[in-house]
Amino acid sequence: MDLKLDHHSEDSLTIVEVEGEIDVYTAPRLRELLIDLVNKGNFHLLVNMEKVDFLDSTGLGVLVGGLKRVRAHDGSLELVCTQERILKIFRITGLTKVFGIYASVDEAKEAHGRDK
Amino acid sequence: MATVELTFSALPAHVRTARLLATAIARRTGVEESLLDEVRLAVGEACSRAVEAHRLHCPGEPIRIELCDDSGRFEVIVTDSAPSDELEQGRDYSSIRFDDPLGQLPGTLMSGFGIAVIVGLADDVEVYPSQKGMRIRMSWPAAAGGLSPV
């Protein structure tokens, strides 16, 4: 399955919807989208990974790169993910300590609202 | 003896083909369904790492993947031709951790992530870096003799 990307804004939060496979072939598209969003002043990003079938280290690198970019603007990049096979990759690499990971978009929005 | 060998040019699009092939053969070999995701990811990581290394050092050279089903295990060997001098021979890759991922260079980070993910997923892993290229051998338990033909 290819990668489908979409995004929309809710208040100060930009929600990025990701569907399909994030690998060495498709990850550059996600990287471009994150860079474009930051360049346009979207510094609080929530990446919804509930429809991601596959994520490899290239995808992790793109997410870390996005986090670095938003942090440079005092922003945030958080994730929505409940799939064990995807969460396992974050645990193996220790990235569960780096990203805020939520069980739903609503939960993430609520946490974002509290932190504002 | 390898049951299937595949060589492919160092293009990102071919990595998906390699991991789909590996998953299909793992299933045929009798690897448990619950482990197939791990096979798919670990093989994808090894091939992605090889593709990135070839694109830097030797884009015209092919990458080789061997899939074997000897002695009740499913074994995958990914061999590239790019010098891997940044990786120390004999290093204990099981200890790779990223305490400060935001402070690392993207290339170093992704290469390290890839190896860390493989080590975390495969039941048995050996990494052989050398000036002539890297060889990653990984294996998982499989049904003895594989699945019977349908």
Backbone dihedral region for residue B125 (phi beyond 0: left; psi -120 to 50: alpha; all else: beta): beta
Q: How far apart are CA B44 and CA B108, in angstroms?
A: 18
Residue A42 lies in a domain: yes
DSSP-derived pairing of the beta strands A101-102 and B2-8: unpaired
Asked if the structure places residue A111 within a domain, the reply is no
- Give counts: helices (H), strands (E), chain A: 4, 5
Q: Which residue among A60, A67, A93 places its CB closest to the CB of B102?
A: A67
Q: Is residue A116 part of a domain?
A: no
Instruction: Encode chain B (150 residues) as per-residue pLDDT tens digits.
Output: 568 999 999 999 999 999 999 999 999 999 999 999 999 999 999 999 999 999 999 999 999 999 998 778 999 999 999 987 555 455 555 555 555 566 555 555 556 678 888 988 887 999 998 889 999 999 999 986 666 444
Any idea which fold B2-141 has?
Heat Shock Protein 90 (3.30.565)
pLDDT at A64: 94
Using the Cβ of A94 and the Cβ atoms of chain B, whether some distance falls under 8 Å is answered with: yes
Q: What is the pLDDT of residues A50-63, one digit of tens each?
A: 999 999 999 999 99
More confident residue, A22 or A112: A22
Counted domains in chain A: 1
A113 located within any domain: no
Residue B6 tokens, joined: 């595949």
Which structural domain range is residue A59 located in? 3-105
CATH classification of the domain holding A79: 3.30.750.24
Does residue A70 sit within a domain? yes
8 Å CB contact of B113 and A57: yes
Q: Write the residue in B15, B106, B109 that is nearest to A25 by C-beta.
A: B15
